[in-house]
Amino acid sequence: GNSVTQMEGPVTLSEEAFLTINCTYTATGYPSLFWYVQYPGEGLQLLLKATKADDKGSNKGFEATYRKETTSFHLEKGSVQVSDSAVYFCALTYAGGTSYGKLTFGQGTILTVHP
């Protein structure tokens, strides 16, 4: 079946540090890949997405590139801020069958950024 594996957290960084959160996936077909962010006490918000190989999703300074050859979708940001502290989820949709849009999530990575 489909699965998503994220690097284990929590991740603790100082403000302005470089961030990488690793994500790899297993899927049949050609999935779309997503990063969602969950701020404390809130629901999930879509951060960025990529729908085909070599696509780069970007938003709010975050980037991730869909690498089919390594089945990866690592999240990066060049300079994190305290306000980026949240839980980050990598996810995929199985672009086939009848479950359009159903998301398979990784376990989530807690990011804490200190001033």
Partner 1 sequence: DSGVTQTPKHLITATGQRVTLRCSPRSGDLSVYWYQQSLDQGLQFLIQYYNGEERAKGNILERFSAQQFPDLHSELNLSSLELGDSALYFCASSVIAENTEAFFGQGTRLTVV
Footprint of partner 1 (CB under 8 A): 32, 34, 36, 42-46, 49, 51, 89, 93, 95, 98-108
Smallest distance, partner 1 to C-beta of residue 78, A:
24
Which residue lies nearer to partner 1 by CB, 17 or 44?
44
Question: DSSP state, 108?
Answer: -
Which residue lies nearer to partner 1 by CB, 105 or 112?
105
Smallest distance, partner 1 to C-beta of residue 91, A:
8
Which residue lies nearer to partner 1 by CB, 101 or 115?
101
Helix (H, G, I), strand (E, B) or coil at 94: coil
Smallest distance, partner 1 to C-beta of residue 88, A:
12
Find the radius of gyration of the CA atoms of the chain.
14
* Closest to 84 in 3D by CA, of 43, 50, 49, 40: 40
Which residue lies nearer to partner 1 by CB, 42 or 115?
42
- For residue 13, give the amino acid letter: L
Asked if 8 contacts 66 with a C-beta cutoff of 8 angstroms, the reply is no
- The residue count of the chain comes to 115
Smallest distance, partner 1 to C-beta of residue 62, A:
15
Residue in the structure block whose two tokens are 């999930």: 44
